[in-house]
Structure 1
Amino acid sequence: MEYTTLGATGTTVSQLCLGTWRFGRETGGVVETDRESAHTLLDAAWDRGINFIDTANVYGTPNGTSERFIGEWLTEHDREDFVIASKVYFPFDGRGEPGPNDSGLGRKHIRAQIEGTLERLGTEYLDVYYVHRWDPQTDLEETLATLDALVREGRIHYLGASTMAAWQLTKALWTSDVNDYARFDVTQPLLHAGYRDDIQAYLDVCATHDLAVCPYSPLAGGFLTGKYERTDDDDPKAFEGPDGTRGTFDERFDKFYVSERGWHVLDELRAIAGELDATPAQVALRWLIEQRAFTCVPIVGARTVEQLEENVGAVDVSLSADQYDRIGDARYDGTGTRWGH
């Protein structure tokens, strides 16, 4: 495993982060990753040098299950070996039917949720605490003042922002600056080699202010692993894949991850993988790790140890400047127009 400094922070993390959104999650009445499997994945990640773990208070069924699985596993390990991130914003169902203050980024909800998160994880502090979404209903200064107080109290080391617009991130950074609050140092956008929307303005903010970027769905929900095949040259949504994979049951899959642009990018990933004796997934992850303008640490959500092993192999891949550029260029046709979704 190789390690990198997390943006402008003084914390060093593995070049890949283990995502745990499947831990304890029920889909169709079936738990995707049960406690035993979660602990096996955590063991495998740690054995391979991954020290960065990402979770959220609402991961799992019921909410909080993912944090609890991680906390139970941590009892057999040294907490100081790990960089742990969690999140706050969404309604939390751990108390039953959510009440009027059981969501958002108001002081009451943040204070309540950090207590629950720390208790479930069995830790006195979080390394990174993300706001899971932007809250238009709460004054930004209240949110940032509350988070700043938690940093000053030692309950949080660094603040993170997940999924917001460039102008929102800029406003939050400016507000923190003028009020001398702790600022966002880490971001967590949807970003992968075939992403359908242009988030360049957001990434420019991250680069300008030396914010670390930790993308979720770096393999486009598995699309960029190469396990799916196109079945109609005229319809990018026509594809087939192995039974039981996400594309065969998740109705959001083709909406968010399958596109004309994605197929062109996947073709290039496959070609470069052949040149490097690697897999498309490894090449896609390496392209993110090697982002030139900002520190990029992809969050991998492997379901099996074998998938995790493949993902970790991205650390041993190295792209030439030409190969790196070819992946980005695959998003555009011969006239310089970006392929559609």
Structure 2
Amino acid sequence: MEYTKLGSTGVDVSEICLGTWRFGMESEGVLETDRETAHALLDRFAEAGGNFIDTANAYGDGDSERWIGEWLTERDREDYVIASKVYWAEESRFDQNLSRKNIRAEIEGTLDRLNTDYLDLYYIHRWDDDTPIEETLRTLTRLVKEGKVHYLGASTMAAWKLTKALWTADAEGLESFTVTQPQHNAVYRDEVADYLDVCADQDLAVCPYSPLEAGFLTGKYERDGDIPEGSRGDIGTWFDPESYTDRQWATLEAVQAVAAEADATPAQVAIRWLIERDRFTCVPIIGARTVDQLEENLGAADLSLSDAQTERITDAYRE
């Protein structure tokens, strides 16, 4: 596993981040990842050299943080970069809220579940339209000064809101966001283009979630085929083949063609395409329900794509 600087933070992280949103989560009554499997996934990720782990207070009703915390007790905390999030509530009844009161309650719950004194990275999970961003940033700044948080991040939001937050931090002398977590992958670009322009201009690291478009980029789905049993599309409600455009299917075909040339899987190629984005530091967040799935995704770290192959995937979407 290679390591990269996380944007302007100076922190060295593995070029792939392990996402744990499936830990303790149920989809259509199916538990996606239980405690034993969660620990096995963390073990394998660490064995591969991974040190960057992403969670949130609301994942699995707090079980994601709890299970990571249990796992960390047997390891050196300083070896890992742990990121969590605030917006939805586990400790407070003030859900979808970034007020001082809610952030204070949620950070204490997160630290307790993770069994740690600090977070390396703390994201706002969404934007709170009812709380002034200055109040949110002042509260987060205080957490940094207290040593409970090292760096601040922002997840999904409109580009103008991210810009407003960066401007407010600069104007008021507050801690600013240095890392972002938007949805982004080879077939999800236009919707986040303005957001990524801000990241590139302001030297913000990008840690995209859903790098495989919830399985679409693995090639397991066909335009006119049946949804495979046991897949995300089978146990969830998100997948609708008719919702994808011709250029998204064309991009998938380009990913599959490059995979055949590189003796790799489409998933590995799609993840590698993100790692090699050159406008900003890009550290994709991968999720897996089994160790075998994780093993496949980790293969992206050993993959090398030519400039021509990378551009072919990029151009397939544009055309």
Partner amino acid for 1:172? A
Which whole-Å CA distance do the structure 2 matches of 1:317 and 1:258 have between them?
27
Please say if residues 103 and 109 of structure 1, whose CA atoms lie closer than 8 Å, have aligned partners that are also in contact: no
Q: Residue in 2 aligned with 1:5?
A: 5
Gaps in structure 1 of 5+ consecutive residues: 232-238, 334-341
Residue pairs, 1:133-172, within 5 angstroms? 133-172=126-165
Measured after TM superposition, the shift of residue 198 of structure 1 is: 3.3
Is the Cα–Cα contact under 8 Å of residues 224 and 284 in structure 1 kept in the other structure? yes
Equivalent of 2:310 in 324, 327, 341 = 324
Find the counterpart in structure 2 of residue 38 from structure 1. Answer: 38
TM-score (norm 2): 0.97
Please tell me whether the aligned partners of residues 223 and 257 of structure 1 are also in contact (alpha carbons under 8 angstroms).
no
**Match runs of 1:69-218 below 5 Å:** 69-92=67-90, 99=93, 101-195=94-188, 197-218=190-211
Structure 1 length-normalised TM: 0.90
Which secondary structure state, in structure 1, belongs to the residue aligned with residue 280 of structure 2?
coil
State the Cα distance separating 1:179 from its structure 2 match: 1.0
Deviates more, 1:319-328 or 1:22-31: 22-31
Is 1:64 the counterpart of 2:62 in the alignment? yes
Between the aligned partners of 2:149 and 2:12, the Cα distance in structure 1 is: 16
2:222 aligns with 229
5+ long unaligned stretches in structure 2: none
Q: Do 2:53 and 2:82's aligned partners in 1 also have CA atoms closer than 8 Å?
A: yes
Q: Does 1:302 align with 2:288?
A: yes
What SS does the aligned partner of 1:145 have? Answer: helix
Q: What secondary structure is seen at the aligned counterpart in 2 of 1:64?
A: helix
Measure the CA separation in 2 of the matches of 1:280 and 1:306: 15
CA distance in 2, matches of 1:213, 1:178: 23
C-alpha distance in 2 between matches for 1:258 and 1:68 = 36
Please show how residues 201-280 of structure 1 align to structure 2 within 5 Å: 201-231=194-224, 239-254=225-240, 258-280=244-266
Check whether the contact 2:28–2:236 (CA below 8 A) recurs between aligned residues.
no
Select 1:292's aligned residue among 268, 278, 291.
Answer: 278
- Residue in structure 2 matched with residue 236 of structure 1 by the alignment: none
Structure 1 residues 242-282: Cα deviation after superposition (integer angstroms, max 9, x where no partner)? 20101123222238974332211110001011111111111
User: CA-to-partner distance for each residue in 1:142-172, whole Å, 9 max, x for gaps?
Assistant: 0000000000111000000000111111110
Q: Which residue of 2 aligns with 1:51?
A: 51
Would the alpha carbon gap of residues 212 and 241 (structure 1) be closer, same or farther in structure 2, given more than 3 Å must change? same
Matched-pair identity in %: 64
Check 1:167–1:280 CA distance in 2 against 1; reply closer, same or farther (3 A cut). Answer: same
Distance 1:328 1:121 in 2: 39
Distance 1:255 1:71, change over 3 A: farther
Corresponding residue SS for 1:221? helix
Q: CA deviation at 1:184?
A: 0.2
CA deviations on 1:58-79 (whole Å, 9 max, x unpaired) are 000xx11110000011111111
SS in 1 for 2:247: helix
Task: Measure how far apart 1:195 and its partner are.
Answer: 0.8
- Whether contact under 8 Å (1:189, 1:213) holds in the other structure is yes
Distance 2:215 2:40 in 1: 21
- Cα displacement (A) at 1:212: 0.5
Residue aligning to 1:281? 267
Match for residue 313 of structure 1? 299
- Distance change (3 Å), C-alpha of 1:263 and 1:255: closer
Please state whether the residue corresponding to 2:49 is helix, strand or coil: coil
CA shift at 1:196, angstroms? 5.9
Q: CA deviation at 1:183?
A: 0.4
Tell me which moved more, 44-53 or 22-31: 22-31
What is the number of equivalent residue pairs in this alignment?
319
Structure 1's 80 and 256: CA in aligned 2 closer, same or farther, altered over 3 A? farther
C-alpha contact (below 8 Å) 2:6/2:179 kept by paired residues: yes
- Answer whether contact 1:221 1:257 (CA < 8 A) is retained: no
- Show structure 1 runs of 4+ deviating over 3 A: 255-259
Alpha-carbon distance, 1:30 to partner:
3.0
Shift of 1:47: 0.4
AA at the equivalent of 2:284: P
- Over 3 Å counting, the alpha-carbon distance change for 1:271 and 1:102 in structure 2 is closer
Q: Is the 8 A contact 1:196 1:257 kept in 2?
A: no
Q: Distance in 1 between matches of 2:197 and 2:243?
A: 23
RMSD between aligned residues = 1.5
